[in-house]
Amino acid sequence: MRQPSVTVFPNELFPKLKYYVYRLIDPRDGQTFYVGKGKENRVFQHLHEAQSDKQGATASNPEKIKTIRDILLSGLEPIHIIHRHGMTEEESLLVEAALMDAYPGALDNLVDGHGAKDFGAAHVNQLVDAYKSEPMDFADYKVLLIKINRTAGNKSIYECVRYAWPIKMERAKKAEYVLAVDKGICRGVFKPNRWMVATKVNFPALTEDLLKRCGFEGVEAPANIVKHFINKRLPDGFIKKGKAFPCEYVNI
């Protein structure tokens, strides 16, 4: 007779587990749908949230909760796998990010892993570009650096960089140019003409209004400015390892 699934760790395990990294697996198809890190009983909180919030009204991640609820309705439970334990929080962040890289496009996670845009999965050619290219010289240019996600379908670099970012509009308006940065390399340089709140009216591709975020309309920067920045890398030490914020101001 199969023993019931564990849905809580005994308290005496906590000192041994410390911080850990886990996967949630859909038993119906064996697919991993969520990767996380935590301590104590964090791995089970998603299941408990799905069981207690019957309508999903307060769910912080509706897609994840929907997946778990669908599993429960089928008479099964999500499979909980601890990948690595006994870590510090900093170590768990790095392991979590590396594990998330192994499941591109398959996870219900709302955000990328810790430091993914700068130190995450990359083609070997991208790494050579990132560390061998000439460094950018910002001089007295007022620029806003934005780390883009080039896995976002077939969107152009301009469409990837222009919305929707958690930045202060008044400060963003001071930027002369916006630089689209991918894996530490400048892949596009644009001159913003108008900054706007990230609403569906201003950016029709959005599925909901993001009133605390903004974006811009603009054009490619003049040729001499593009030449000054394009295909050059961020200076050594410019971005601290593990920093998650996608935007950075220079000379502003």
CATH architecture of 11-114: 3-Layer(aba) Sandwich (3.40)
Task: Specify the long-range contacts of residues 1-7, CB closer than 8 Å, at least 24 apart.
Answer: 5/77, 5/80, 6/80, 7/44, 7/47, 7/48
Q: Which helix (H) or strand (E) holds 213?
A: strand 210-220
Written as tens digits, the pLDDT of the chain (252 aa) is: 344 577 889 999 999 999 999 999 999 889 999 999 999 999 999 998 888 855 544 456 778 888 999 999 988 999 999 999 999 999 999 899 888 888 866 666 545 444 445 555 555 665 666 566 789 999 889 999 998 865 445 689 999 999 999 999 999 999 999 999 987 889 999 999 999 999 999 999 888 889 999 999 999 999 999 999 999 988 877 765 545 568 999 999
Q: What tens digit of pLDDT does each residue of 232-241 get?
A: 988 877 765 5
DSSP 8-state class, residue 207 = S
Q: CB-side exposure of 232: number of CA atoms within 13 Å?
A: 17
What pLDDT shows up at residue 184?
83
Assigned token pair, 53: 């919030």
Q: What tens digit of pLDDT does each residue of 62-121 get?
A: 788 889 999 999 889 999 999 999 999 999 998 998 888 888 666 665 454 444 455 555
Structural contact between residues 109 and 42, judged by C-beta atoms closer than 8 angstroms = no
Q: What is the residue extent of each domain of the chain?
A: 11-114, 124-250
Structural contact between residues 17 and 80, judged by C-beta atoms closer than 8 angstroms = no
Query: Residue 186: how many CB atoms within 10 A of its CB?
Result: 21
